[in-house]
Amino acid sequence: MSRYLTPSRIVLLALVELYAESRFPNASVLPVVSFVIKHLVHPKDSSSFVLSLEEIQAATSNQPSAVVGRTIYDLLLKRLWDINSFDALHTFFTNLQNYVADPEERGKTRDRKPEDSAVLHRTSILGCFIRRASLEFTRLLFHDAMALWNSFARFREPTLNKYRQRNIGAGSTSFDINLKGLSLNDPRVQKIYFNTQDSTAYMVSTNDVERLLEFQVDIMQRMGTRVPDEVQDRLRKMMDTKVPIPSLFHYVEFLNAWRAGDYPGSFDNLHRYFDYTMQNRDRTFYQYALLNLSILQADFGCYPESVLAMRETIKVARDHKDMACLNFALSWLYHFHKAHPRECPEVISSRMEWDSLQFLKAKAKEGGMHHLQSMAHLSEAKQILLSGESIPAAFECLLRSSHLNVSKYIRNAMGSQILLQCSLWSRLGISYLARLNCQVFLTKYRADSPMEDVVKAMCRDAYIMSMRGRAHQALDYLDNLDQDALRSLKIHQYWAAYVGLIKLRRAVLMDEFSAAELLLQQLSSLPHIEPDCHLELSLTRLDLLVRTGNFPQALALSAQIHDDLVRDNADVYHRVRVMVLRAQIFGACGRPLKGLSISINAASIAWKARLMPAVFSAFHAVAGILVTLEEYQAAYRMLDCIMPQVLECEDVYLAAQCFAVLADIEVGLAGKRMGVSRDKCLHNALDFLDRAFSHFARIQDLQSQKQMISRKTRIQDYLGDKSVRDDTVKMYRQLQRGVLQL
């Protein structure tokens, strides 16, 4: 493998030579020269790393040349086939120097005749290209130069038929004039040109491989994905040649193994890469070795070792005055403390408060690190939401981050910003805007965002769909996710957690308790699960215990969950939800006053933080307890004032529960009235039961559907409507057999 020269670069040199000889008319100069420069400067897409004949033909075949009746592609083929021997290849590189002038000779070119060749400046892009190509060819050993010639002959071979159309005398051995009179089956021809084991070794250069590896590293770091299988195969074939392997290849292997969850492989490749780097650059990149090691250990659950490595990173980065690394390390340590508060030593935990964010924002602004500054604003907004503070302040931080993302064109930060907006709208009870934000992100910013953010948005969208009673569509939506996006272990675990949660919730509602227990075991075995998923898992476990009548264990588990959340200073929304469920459990097991105090406290906290779905859940819990205390008027006024907002939340389960409590309230009011007023209350109760049954049916809550039909049957029996009651009993029996069609 050559360090720089390849057959495709020889073609580019031929195009530059034609340009220097003034073979391009004015109309063709810009497109062809732009094509050449595009492949000399580092390309932005992977398709441009190895130039193919098809790309060359597409760029030059439609461009007219200065020769009448000939295109630039025709002149290029003529020039390429004029290199008809190994000696001609030497002559080609030797003559290239005639097209490059020293700066002091540049002024002499003004007296040149129009028919003379143009002179390229030594420091121009084309001039530097010619000088480097000539130098690299001069430095080649004889064996490497012969291999380059053989590769060039193979690369040029498919153009023979096109070349024959303009040159009738061209034959199968025209690639080497020394073979004139010989056939391709001659033993000498076979020995020289067709007996090379590494037939593709010189189709790419070490420079091309390094650029390809840099491109892969950039994509993997920005998008959080793994190298596709076909790209891995091509990289390994390139590395199979007997040349030194670029050290960056070990870093690509490290990232790939890391995303795949291969801890030994990632650890080994990380050490290999930074061992080579330290030999070449001394200790300049030592802090980045520690930084990668810390993040790697954190992802695989080695939290104490990760914290120690990150503290050493901060120390080394401060010594080397590497502010970019230092600020990133401080930002990572802050987020690590928020995610794993019990794993950080006290000396670190005491520093990871509000002042840390202010320091990060100031340093990021001073250093012009706009992406880090945008993330700091998002972290501030997230901290405000987690602590239940001012919603306008959170919106202000979001707007600051959005302004940076738009004005500085930070497209890969839009995912984190929009996902946080989605959470904010969900907490305010406006689920329509929450889902709209997910769809906007997936439509407009998906291509430039990390794959982790894309999968998070899709999972959030699917979860909102399941809350609306469309669990089947949500599962189909997640099943249709591109499998290449799930090749990273962390992303796959996040996706699997949401799929499992939707299935678990559906199994609990459908009274499939065995399947629910199995899903609980599988989800609990996930090594790393997001806090939101972990809370949903805990709440579903509590619901399962309540539905099976195991109230003592449910109370003990709810107390343990609440204590853990308080100890870790967790999200206030999570704490309120656990408090509401705990109050409902107290009400269900005969301790309504205890549940009333907890639910009122939860409602107060949720209202201060503007957690509207939690406020409505707390009001529902209070109303249910008031029904058991026979305070029907107060319970009705409480639920009646929030029902429009409850329906706007589009939480089908919460709306169904509220309608069921309203039905109980109407029945309780009917017990205190007489005559027409009583019948009116009972008919209102039937109406609320029908609505509750409709909502429970949407989420396939079998147990609650039976309860609604059973209550409806008793009311109809009291009203004396026998025919309607018989139809309701028939519905109940069909529901028991699982054959009810709605």
pLDDT, one tens digit per residue, over 649-691 is 999 999 999 999 999 999 999 988 877 788 899 999 999 999 9
Under the banding of pLDDT at 50, 70 and 90, the label for residue 277 is: low
Identify the burial level of 271 via C-beta atoms within 10 angstroms of its C-beta, where 0-12 means exposed, 13-18 middle and 19 or more buried.
Answer: middle
Please report the pLDDT score of residue 122 as a whole number.
Answer: 87
71 bridge partner residues:
64
Mean pLDDT of the chain: 85
Mean pLDDT, range 126-139, rounded to an integer: 92
3-state secondary structure of 121: strand
3-state secondary structure of 101: strand
Mean pLDDT, range 16-45, rounded to an integer: 85
Q: Are 546 and 585 in contact (CB under 8 A)?
A: yes
What is the pTM for the complete model shown? 0.82
Task: Give Cα separations from 177 to 161, 164, 452 (angstroms).
Answer: 18, 16, 58
Mean pLDDT, range 151-164, rounded to an integer: 85
Place of tokens 């995912």: 415
- Specify the higher pLDDT residue, 265 or 116: 265
Under the banding of pLDDT at 50, 70 and 90, the label for residue 243 is: low
Under the banding of pLDDT at 50, 70 and 90, the label for residue 560 is: very high
Please report the pLDDT score of residue 109 as a whole number.
Answer: 47
Closest CA to 660 of 632, 691, 634: 691
Mean pLDDT, range 242-263, rounded to an integer: 81
AA letter at 393 = A
Residue 223's φ and ψ, nearest 5 degrees, are -100, -15
Under the banding of pLDDT at 50, 70 and 90, the label for residue 112 is: very low
Residue 120's φ and ψ, nearest 5 degrees, are -90, 145
Please report the pLDDT score of residue 206 as a whole number.
Answer: 78
Q: Are 434 and 464 in contact (CB under 8 A)?
A: yes
- Specify the higher pLDDT residue, 44 or 447: 447
Does the structure show a pLDDT above 90 at 3? Answer: no
Closest CA to 442 of 415, 480, 481, 406: 415
Please report the pLDDT score of residue 46 as a whole number.
Answer: 44
Mean pLDDT, range 689-718, rounded to an integer: 91
Please report the pLDDT score of residue 189 as a whole number.
Answer: 67
Please report the pLDDT score of residue 350 as a whole number.
Answer: 47
Does the structure show a pLDDT above 60 at 170? Answer: yes
Does the structure show a pLDDT above 90 at 90? Answer: yes
pLDDT, one tens digit per residue, over 488-529 is 888 888 999 999 999 999 999 998 999 999 999 999 888 778
Please report the pLDDT score of residue 582 as a whole number.
Answer: 93
Please report the pLDDT score of residue 576 as a whole number.
Answer: 94
Share of the chain above pLDDT 70, in %: 88
Max Cα-Cα span within the chain: 119
Please report the pLDDT score of residue 411 as a whole number.
Answer: 85
Choice among 126-130, 232-236, 374-378, 467-471 with the minimum mean pLDDT:
232-236
Under the banding of pLDDT at 50, 70 and 90, the label for residue 427 is: very high
Please report the pLDDT score of residue 667 as a whole number.
Answer: 93
- Write the CB contacts of 210 (distance below 8 Å, at least 6 apart in sequence): 246, 248
Choice among 254-263, 274-283, 306-315, 550-559 with the minimum mean pLDDT:
274-283
Task: Give Cα separations from 581 to 266, 501, 536, 562, 625 (angstroms).
Answer: 43, 18, 12, 11, 13
Q: Which long-range contacts (CB under 8 A, 24 or more apart) does 21-24 make?
A: 21/117, 21/118, 22/66, 22/114, 22/115, 22/117, 22/118, 23/65, 23/66, 23/67, 23/72, 23/75, 24/63, 24/65, 24/66, 24/72
Torsional class of 450: left (φ above 0), alpha (ψ -120 to 50), beta (otherwise): beta
Query: Is residue 74 within a helix (H) or strand (E), and if so which, with residue range?
Result: helix 72-82
Q: Nearest-5° angle of CA 100, CA 39, CA 149?
A: 70
Please report the pLDDT score of residue 108 as a whole number.
Answer: 52
Does the structure show a pLDDT above 90 at 434? Answer: yes
Please report the pLDDT score of residue 248 as a whole number.
Answer: 82
Please report the pLDDT score of residue 280 as a whole number.
Answer: 59
Please report the pLDDT score of residue 191 as a whole number.
Answer: 66
Mean pLDDT, range 54-75, rounded to an integer: 90
Please report the pLDDT score of residue 228 as a whole number.
Answer: 77
Under the banding of pLDDT at 50, 70 and 90, the label for residue 555 is: very high
Mean pLDDT, range 226-249, rounded to an integer: 72
AA letter at 94 = T
- Specify the higher pLDDT residue, 447 or 465: 465
AA letter at 492 = H
Please report the pLDDT score of residue 113 as a whole number.
Answer: 44
Residue 64's φ and ψ, nearest 5 degrees, are -70, 155
Share of the chain above pLDDT 90, in %: 40
What are the b/e assignments for 168-192, b being 16+ CB within 10 Å? eebeebbbbeebeeeeeeeeebeeb
How many of the other CB atoms lie within 10 Å of CB of 709?
A: 23
Distance of CA 545 to the CA centre of its chain: 36
Please report the pLDDT score of residue 637 as a whole number.
Answer: 93
Under the banding of pLDDT at 50, 70 and 90, the label for residue 161 is: confident
Does the structure show a pLDDT above 90 at 42? Answer: no
- Write the CB contacts of 104 (distance below 8 Å, at least 6 apart in sequence): none
Choice among 51-65, 191-205, 471-485 with the minimum mean pLDDT:
191-205
Mean pLDDT, range 432-452, rounded to an integer: 91
Q: Are 452 and 299 in contact (CB under 8 A)?
A: no
Query: Is residue 566 within a helix (H) or strand (E), and if so which, with residue range?
Result: helix 551-567
- Write the CB contacts of 64 (distance below 8 Å, at least 6 apart in sequence): 25, 27, 28, 70, 71, 72
Q: Quote the CA–CA distance of 615 and 607 in Å, as a whole number.
A: 6
